[in-house]
Amino acid sequence: MSTTTYQVTGMTCGHCVSSVTSEVSEIAGVTDVRVDLASGQVTVTSSGDPVDPAQVRAAVEEAGYQLAS
């Protein structure tokens, strides 16, 4: 099991949290997604190796937000 935390910019409400959670949850191997609206942190847990950050970035962008550099 692997857990990685990312910083997401642009989230302002519960709908933002839901959108990011939904998109990131669709990545193969992801078992849990925790989004903290106040801090902008998204914690992704996967069943095996860490999820490719490019996949997380693509999912976050699909939801309409961006990973902080």
69 or 62: which carries more pLDDT confidence?
Answer: 62
CA distance to 30, 49, 63, per residue, from 38 (Å): 23, 28, 18
Please state the domain count of the chain: 1
pLDDT at 36: 97
Q: Which domain holds residue 13?
A: 2-67
Planar angle of CA 11, 69, 29, nearest 5 degrees: 75
pLDDT digits (tens, 9 = 90+) for 20-52: 999 999 999 999 999 999 999 999 999 988 899
Q: What is the pTM of this model?
A: 0.93
CATH code of the domain in which 35 resides: 3.30.70.100
Q: Write down the mean pLDDT value for the chain.
A: 96
